[in-house]
Amino acid sequence: MIELLARTVTMGTPLLYGSLSEVYAERSGVMNTAIEGIFLMGAWAGFVAAYQSGGNLAIGLLAAMLAGLLTAALYGWICIYLKQHQIVTGTAINILALGICAFFQRVIFGVPVTPLIVQPLQPIALPLLSEIPVIGPILFNQNILTYALFLLVPLANFVLFKASLGLSIRSIGENPEAGDVAGIRVDRLRFLTILFAGVMCGVGGAFYSIGYLGMFTITIIGGRGWIAFAICFLGNWKPLGVLAGTLVFGFAEAVAILMQSRGAGLFPNELFIALPYILTIVLTVSRRSFNVPATLGVPYRKEG
Amino acid sequence: MSSKTRDLLLTNVLAVAAGLTASGLLLLFLGANPLVTMGTLFGSLFRDSYTFADIFVKATPLMFTALAFGLPFQANLYNIGAQGQFYIGSITAVGLSLLLQGRMPGLLALAIVALVSFLLGGLWGGMIGWLKARFNANEFLVSMMSTYVALNLMNYLLRTFLMESKAEYPQTNPLAQAVWLPIVVPGTRLHVGFILGVLACVSVWVLLYKTALGFRIRAVGSNKDAAELAGINYKRLYVVTFFIAGALAALGGFTEVNGVQHMLVQGFNPGVGAAGIGIAILANGNPLGMIFAAILFGALNVGGTIMGQLSGIPSSINELMLGFVMVFVILAYYVREKLEDRREKARLKKAASL
């Protein structure tokens, strides 16, 4: 059970990077529908940079952030400055990301004979804390990306609800005209928020390649970006809400991994693989009290 | 030709050209000459009638998945789950064909298979619309997730009930020739499914622009609240629209299984759902335009595959071309808005100076 919960935290980590950033993006009024593609770019760029630098994971992470940033910049430019359709643009960028990763993986590595691997991030047992019974092995024997979230989640919550930056972000999502009148440059702030989301999602994607598996395949993300996207809805656009959401989904994934490794039981493996997706549908259906940002998905067009 | 239509054609042609140029330039990284390679791509399409007909074979499922996105889009609904609905149709088609073949005349079996695939795909899709109508569930998310569920359902069935008798690979037994869709042009793979696809596009066009239901769909799409005030039951419309969308995507699965593959293989046609979205936006949501857009994408697909066989270009060039073309098509929307703006301003100026 402890192992299962520890794995819940591990598998929830990348989802939390994604969904936290999605909260910020959507609060500003922009859905980041390129999230799946940005995760993939992060996973790929992180792996390539780490591999080429002889296994330097810090370089890998930086590359993942940069790849996320650039992909988000393209998305933001089209959706925020050119005011084009967010869901359609996201779909296009997700396909493009798939093509770019698969194509350049081939350009760089050809058709490798042996699988390409790097040593992934190792868990670091925090002294003393990791020795607390039950909580220690679950929370304090994780890798550095998980620990970073211990700081990021409270910080994200504070900034969004208590700092003036958060107020500005929320106000342009609810009422961009008012924000504009108050002197906020709506498009610029939305763009910066999306860039931030791109960096976070780049890290989230890199978690799968260099933070956990130590390898890259083109199906490595397999819809997890979309799950992070869903968690933002389910978590009611709140940092603490998405924290709870990621734990639920992390648990579903942990159970799926455990059941798969145990081999054929009463239920087929495919059911467990599909579990997080089924869970999303069930939760999407049962969750009622949404506080959707008022202008979510609507580009801001100045009058005149 | 109105200036809007001219803008549409011109900007989209430029967008496709720009998308292909961008993908072509990336070929430089492989040390391939983009001009020569792209020349091979287009030249190879016309090398023989078999290859040429394959363009339309590849276009067939794309017309269905494009409609599956494009029809709900008119009601401002997002069906991102065409891939899953396509798989539901494929599973149904292969399972039922294996069951019925040899027990009745082929054409009767085909008709039943088509109908049942249509209905089951419709139920799968209609469920999404129902969840939205009944629980206000986000259809974008639900349809997205339903694809992964359908994929895993397919994988499971291919490993168990539908697995081939040899039990070696996750695939079904081949279908008997009696339940293959008839070939239209002898010596090629072009089957009746293509005609069905064209008919589907025409029917959806008629539905949208010539019937009361289509009017209601478009009314809900342009202003849901106004439509509701006017007495349109938008909740029922959600279910109906998604039912049709799912049913069409499933028909695409049927034509692919009974017309081309003649069996079901794990992980087949993984990109038809996404390509369908690209086609729908390239056609600007017009079902008749989707026929031509699907043929274009079919051509890129065939050309890309041959290019891979001839010059060792990886098959990911297909996704690259698709992605770049889609991005440029979206940019073309922006350019059209600007052109329309400018004309509007010119008109106003002229009116003001009178």
Residue A285 to residue B137, Cβ atoms within 8 A: yes
CB pairs under 8 A between A and B: 139
Q: What is the pLDDT of residue B213?
A: 95
Number of independent structural domains in chain B: 1
User: Residue B179 carries which DSSP code?
Assistant: G
A97 touches chain B (CB under 8 A): yes
Interval B71-115: pLDDT, tens:
999 999 999 999 999 999 999 999 999 999 999 999 999 999 999
Q: How far is A226 from chain B (nearest CA, A)?
A: 8
The values of phi and psi at residue A294, to 5°, are: -60, -40
A93 touches chain B (CB under 8 A): yes
A296 touches chain B (CB under 8 A): no
pLDDT bucket at B315, cuts 50 / 70 / 90 = confident
Q: What is the pLDDT of residue B31?
A: 83
Residue B133 lies in a domain: yes
Residue B319 to residue A102, Cβ atoms within 8 A: yes
Residue B287 lies in a domain: no
Q: What is the pLDDT of residue B38?
A: 84
Using alpha carbons, select from A90, A85, A80, A76 the residue that is nearest to residue A225: A90
Q: Which domains does chain A have, with CATH numbers?
A: 2-111+148-286 (1.10.3470.10)
Using alpha carbons, select from A276, A218, A30 the residue that is nearest to residue B145: A276
Q: Which residues of B touch A93 (CB under 8 A)?
A: 323, 327
The values of phi and psi at residue B160, to 5°, are: -120, -100
Q: What percent of chain B stands above pLDDT 70?
A: 100
Residue B290 lies in a domain: no
Sign of the four-CA dihedral B82, B151, B243, A292: negative
Using alpha carbons, select from B103, B12, B81, B4 the residue that is nearest to residue B326: B12
* Burial status of residue B237 (CB atoms within 10 A of its CB: 0-12, 13-18, 19 or more): buried
Distance, in Å, from the CA atom of B354 to the CA atom of A14, rounded to the nearest integer, reads 63
Distance, in Å, from the CA atom of B38 to the CA atom of B303, rounded to the nearest integer, reads 9
Q: What is the pLDDT of residue B66?
A: 98
How many other C-beta atoms lie within 10 A of the C-beta of residue A116? 14
* Mean pLDDT over each residue of chain B, to the nearest integer: 93
For A284, how many CA atoms within 13 A lie in the half-sphere containing its CB?
A: 29
Give the ipTM. 0.91
Residue A286 to residue B131, Cβ atoms within 8 A: no
Residue A284 to residue B314, Cβ atoms within 8 A: no
Residue B104 lies in a domain: yes
Residue A230 to residue B146, Cβ atoms within 8 A: no
Q: Which residue has the higher pLDDT, B354 or B217?
A: B217
Q: What is the pLDDT of residue A246?
A: 95
CA distances from B195 to B112, B286, B318 (A): 18, 18, 25
- Select from A100, A104, A285 the residue whose CB has the most chain B CBs within 10 Å, as the one to mutate to test that interface: A285
Q: Are residues A194 and A30 in contact, defined by beta-carbon separation less than 8 angstroms?
A: yes
Q: What is the pLDDT of residue A289?
A: 56
Interval B318-350: pLDDT, tens:
889 999 999 999 999 999 999 999 999 999 998
Nearest CA in chain B to A289: B136
Residue B29 to residue A87, Cβ atoms within 8 A: no
Residue B308 lies in a domain: no
- Count of residues in chain A: 304
Q: Which residues of A touch B18 (CB under 8 A)?
A: none
Distance, in Å, from the CA atom of B274 to the CA atom of A98, rounded to the nearest integer, reads 11
Q: Taking residues B8-28, what's their average pLDDT?
A: 92
Residue A87 to residue B131, Cβ atoms within 8 A: no
Give the list of residues 6+ apart from residue A10 with CB closer than 8 angstroms, or none: A142, A143, A146, A212, A250, A254
pLDDT bucket at A286, cuts 50 / 70 / 90 = confident
Distance, in Å, from the CA atom of B275 to the CA atom of B64, rounded to the nearest integer, reads 11
Distance, in Å, from the CA atom of B108 to the CA atom of B179, rounded to the nearest integer, reads 9
Q: Taking residues A172-177, what's their average pLDDT?
A: 93
For B201, how many CA atoms within 13 A lie in the half-sphere containing its CB?
A: 28
Give start and end residues of each alpha helix (H) in chain B: 3-26, 34-45, 49-74, 82-100, 106-135, 139-159, 192-210, 212-222, 224-229, 234-256, 272-282, 287-311, 317-353
Residue A96 to residue B320, Cβ atoms within 8 A: yes
Q: In this structure, which amino acid lies at residue A114? A: T
Q: Which residues of A touch B317 (CB under 8 A)?
A: 99, 103
Q: In this structure, which amino acid lies at residue A122? A: Q
User: Residue B104 carries which DSSP code?
Assistant: B
Distance, in Å, from the CA atom of B47 to the CA atom of B298, rounded to the nearest integer, reads 16
Q: Which residues of A touch B141 (CB under 8 A)?
A: 226, 229-230, 233, 280-281, 284
Q: Any long-range contacts for A121-127 (C-beta under 8 Å, 24+ apart)?
A: A121/A57, A121/A145, A121/A210, A121/A211, A121/A212
Give the SS3 label for residue B78: coil
Q: How far is A234 from chain B (nearest CA, A)?
A: 11
Residue B278 to residue A223, Cβ atoms within 8 A: no
Which of A150-154, B166-170, B337-341 has the highest average model confidence (pLDDT)?
A150-154
Pick A87's closest partner by Cβ from B78, B155, B333: B78
Pick A107's closest partner by Cβ from B30, B145, B278: B30
Pick B330's closest partner by Cβ from A92, A97, A277: A92
Residue B281 to residue A88, Cβ atoms within 8 A: yes
Residue B161 lies in a domain: yes
Distance, in Å, from the CA atom of B78 to the CA atom of B68, rounded to the nearest integer, reads 10
Residue A89 to residue B330, Cβ atoms within 8 A: yes
**Token representation of residue B337:** 């808005």
Q: Which residues of A touch B266 (CB under 8 A)?
A: none
Q: What is the pLDDT of residue A186?
A: 95
Distance, in Å, from the CA atom of B323 to the CA atom of B325, rounded to the nearest integer, reads 5
Residue B135 to residue A97, Cβ atoms within 8 A: no
pLDDT bucket at A288, cuts 50 / 70 / 90 = low
**Token representation of residue B140:** 């974008």
Residue B325 lies in a domain: no
Map tokens 């440059």 to a residue: A185
Pick A92's closest partner by Cβ from B131, B323, B334: B323
pLDDT bucket at B130, cuts 50 / 70 / 90 = very high
Residue B99 lies in a domain: yes
Residue span of the structural domain in which B208 resides = 63-272
Residue B277 to residue A99, Cβ atoms within 8 A: no
Residue A226 to residue B326, Cβ atoms within 8 A: no
Interval A227-237: pLDDT, tens:
999 999 889 89
